[in-house]
Amino acid sequence: MKPEYINNKLIIPKPDCNCEYHIMPETNIYIGDGIINNAPAYIKEHIKGQKCTLITDENLYGLFGKETIDILSKEFELTVCIPPSEGKLKPDTNALGYILMEVDLDTDFLIAFGSGTINDLTRFAAANMKIPFASIGTAASMDGYVSVISPMLKGNLKINKPAGYPKVGIYDLNIIKTAPSDMVFAGFGDVIGKYIAKADWIMGSFIIDEHVCPYCIDLVDSALEMCVENLDEIKNKTSKGIKSLLEALLLTGLAMLVNTNSRPAASNEHNMGHYWEMMKLTEGKPHPSHGEAVGIATLYCLGFYEELLNIKKFDIKSENLPWDAYDSNKREKVLLEKYGADVGRSIIDGNPTEPITKDERLRRANAFVSALSPIKSALSFLPSRKTVETYYKTLNAPLTADEIGIDKSLLKDALMYAKDYRDRYTVFKTAEELGLLEDIVNSLV
């Protein structure tokens, strides 16, 4: 599915599947060199009104903000909002509250000038004010530009709040390709994580009869292919390479948007990244960026798949399944210990279908055993961990959790308990249901 354009506008392909729940977004995406000068025209074509507020951070304001503001101010009555922060801006109640206090009630629309955090704050503020927003991206570092979810921090708990997608997205490659190399790897890692999201989704179709949309899978496959095929261009941050990475991120974002949830593009590799972030925040220590964490978590998830799919089905016996592991009191105690009282309680309350019953565990175990051969065939697209490590080496990127500040204890806890972050079927739940989780985790760590 090669992206096509008309006058720098991305043509969003229509679903060719039979899924009845899809939502076609009314978002308008523009990508090209030097197109920031066309930003006012792009916005005016799709958003009504003159009064707007541009939301950004101090760093981006110093780099590109003044020039961008000059361009926009010629056509709009524009004010600037820069939420204060000590160090890196966080998508928390402090920043959100500042934005809502600063933006006038008669504002017609908002503009996010930034990448992850800025877009998440802006989309959530716009949704609460019931006004549209435009996104001017500054890095190919994450897949959430066209998301309808804002990952926000409530204390140390990472929560996903429903919001809205931008009516207009403007991505000037002259700006985006100046982003630091670690942000480029963050974007690449976010895309590579889709291997695990796709595999877990397919695994869910075998074990819990989960519906898998072929259109969304095609979008994800195209994104992965574009990144791998243009690896050297991405490393050198050429216009071609950064455009390919950005297109890949936007396609996976569109898959989530069309599917009405993040299932096509986020699974346990994202859970692990969220877990590390929350635990580091609890400790008051810096955490790796989202995409960087997802990229490294993907390596361990690939290793996990390799081990699980190499088991012999006659080694799995129902009488040996660890039934006590799904005792609700035991599960609650472990999650409160591993996530902390506040975060742990929120996760327990937010996943009321867990733990599953003994009968359901047995049914799932039997489903895996009986379908092991077709499961292996369906997941044959997964690259080896070593293959993905070669991609990261090309980008001079980290290869282990330790290199991004995650010690063995925190790595093991993420591999064991990140699966419980949300009610989504993953290979880690498969392994737990089979009584193999801790053994595989120990071998990886």
The mean pLDDT value for 403-423 works out to 96
Contacts of 86 (CB under 8 A, 6+ apart): none
- Dig out the tokens for 93 from the structure: 């109640």
pLDDT at 315: 72
* Residues, the chain: 445
Q: How far is CA 278 from the centre of its chain?
A: 15
pLDDT tens for 217-254 read 999 999 999 999 999 999 999 999 999 999 999 999 99
Taking the C-alpha atoms of residue 176 and residue 197, their distance in angstroms, rounded to an integer, is 26
pLDDT at 215: 94
Mean pLDDT lowest among 110-114, 207-211, 326-330, 357-361 = 326-330
Q: How many CA atoms lie within 13 A of 399 on its CB side?
A: 12
The mean pLDDT value for 47-57 works out to 97
Question: Contact 245/191 with Cβ under 8 angstroms?
Answer: yes
Please state which CATH class domain 33-178 belongs to.
alpha beta
Question: Contact 115/141 with Cβ under 8 angstroms?
Answer: yes
The mean pLDDT value for 387-404 works out to 98
pLDDT at 239: 93
Give yes or no for residue 318 having a pLDDT over 70: no
- Mean pLDDT rounded to a whole number for the chain: 93
**Residue ranges covered by each domain of the chain:** 33-178, 264-444
Give yes or no for residue 313 having a pLDDT over 80: no
Give yes or no for residue 276 having a pLDDT over 90: yes
pLDDT at 324: 61
Torsion of CA 100, 152, 254, 250, to 10 degrees: 90
What's the CATH number for 264-444?
1.20.1090
pLDDT at 367: 92
**Percentage of the chain with pLDDT > 70?**
97
pLDDT at 199: 98
Contacts of 175 (CB under 8 A, 6+ apart): 36, 64, 137, 138
pLDDT tens for 156-206 read 888 888 898 999 999 999 999 999 999 999 999 999 999 999 999 999 999
| Residue 368 binned pLDDT confidence (cut-offs 50, 70, 90) | very high
Q: Which residue has the higher pLDDT, 32 or 356?
A: 32
Taking the C-alpha atoms of residue 419 and residue 60, their distance in angstroms, rounded to an integer, is 35
Give yes or no for residue 326 having a pLDDT over 70: no
Does this chain's domain 33-178 share its CATH topology with 264-444?
no
The mean pLDDT value for 306-311 works out to 92
pLDDT at 342: 87
pLDDT at 320: 67
